[in-house]
Amino acid sequence: MTMKNFYKIVCVFALLMSVTATTYAGNPDRQGEAGASELLLNPWARSAGLHSMTTASVSGVEAMRLNIAGLGRIESRELNISNTRLFEGSTVKLNALGYAQKMGNSAFGFSLVAVDFGDIPVTTVGQPDGTGATFSPSFIHLGFGYSYTYDNKISVGFLFRTVSESTADVSAFGFALDAGVQYVSGEKDNFRLGISLRNVGSPMKFNGQGLSFQTSNPEGNTDFPLTIEQRAEDFELPSVLNIGISYDFYFAEKVMLRAVSNFTSNAFSRDQVGAGAELYINDMFVLRGGYKKDFGSSGSSLNNVYSGVSGGASIELPFNESGKNKLAIDYAYRATNPFRGTHNFSVRFLF
């Protein structure tokens, strides 16, 4: 395949993503109509420290949440384990496990993300203060991704993700597709451009015994029980289009500043734009921060939960003589509205 033909394929690919997203995107009047909103949550601390605005520069396991095209931009293999304290004060947590492996110009990966709601008291009409029992919903995403990098300049990728939401007697299942492209240019790969389209998939619908109830015969003299089943409405997945750029500034041999900017077009809420920066020191320490803002008129009922400031840090420590195998610890904080922010903790193994 020639470089010219590959550029044509990428341009058509990007155009198709833009057209698809335009069909659904940027309508705050549809806010609240989508389901499976946990698909918009980012469990990985490195990218969360920049408010998930690393569409152009994300790599490895984290790319399977933001831009699958960056999956292969690692040297060999990566294992990522993460815990997130969502919306401080809500007791909800987000746990994630991901693995990525590069094989030549291709890369494969999988990710498992689960929401931990804790123990929720069971209440009924007759016992509104609780029955003494508890339950915990099960929200699980399992994703399988693939990306291909051409001449270290252009990466494309696709990801298939299953979405499962259930309690003991009600459940819904669906699938989502992600697609993305990254372009790298410059003497030291300074300039990066990324486009990703996420969460395009099947409508979901809840089914199960929890949607039925028993009542007595409303007509006639014969008294016998009836089971009434309620039909749940289908709901769409929260499709998102991201367009991002980044540029690296080198001040010394091992000091680099990466500036990022990102535009997010949400299908079921207000669009967002933001910018941030990462400071890399001595190939070991990284400090990052960003700011994200909603488009349109303000209003507490229309604001996205993640807006405002974000920040984080990383430390990467080699654990062999060659320095290729590393242990990395990441932390991130994101302001939320409402609640008291979200804290992300991740441990990465690069080997």
pLDDT band, very low/low/confident/very high, at 337 (cuts 50, 70, 90): confident
Position of tokens 């490195």?
46
SS3 state of residue 268: coil
- The residue-averaged pLDDT of 288-302 equals 77
pLDDT at 226: 77
73-119 pLDDT per residue, tens: 998 999 999 999 999 888 899 999 999 999 999 999 999 999 999 88
Confidence at 197, pLDDT banded by 50, 70, 90: very high
* Interval 256-267: pLDDT, tens: 999 999 999 988
**CA distance linking residue 133 with residue 121, whole number of Å:** 6
Q: Among candidates 139, 56, 130, which has minimal Cα distance to 95?
A: 139
Contact between residue 103 and residue 179 where contact means Cβ atoms under 8 Å apart? no
In this predicted structure, the answer to whether residue 26 has a pLDDT above a threshold of 80 is no
Q: Which two tokens stand for residue 290?
A: 């960003």
CATH architecture of the domain with range 3-350:
Beta Barrel (2.40)
Are the C-beta atoms of 120 and 142 separated by less than 8 Å? no
pLDDT value, residue 48: 97
Alpha helices for the chain (secondary structure H): 3-24, 45-48, 63-66
Name the band, by pLDDT with cuts 50, 70 and 90, for residue 23: very low
Domain locations along the chain: 3-350
- Provide the pairing of β-strand 134-135 with 120-121: antiparallel
Q: Tell me the pTM.
A: 0.86
Task: Give the mean pLDDT of 53-59.
Answer: 96
Residue that is written with structure tokens 């919903």 in the block: 137
The CB density around residue 323, as the number of other CB atoms within 10 Å, is 11
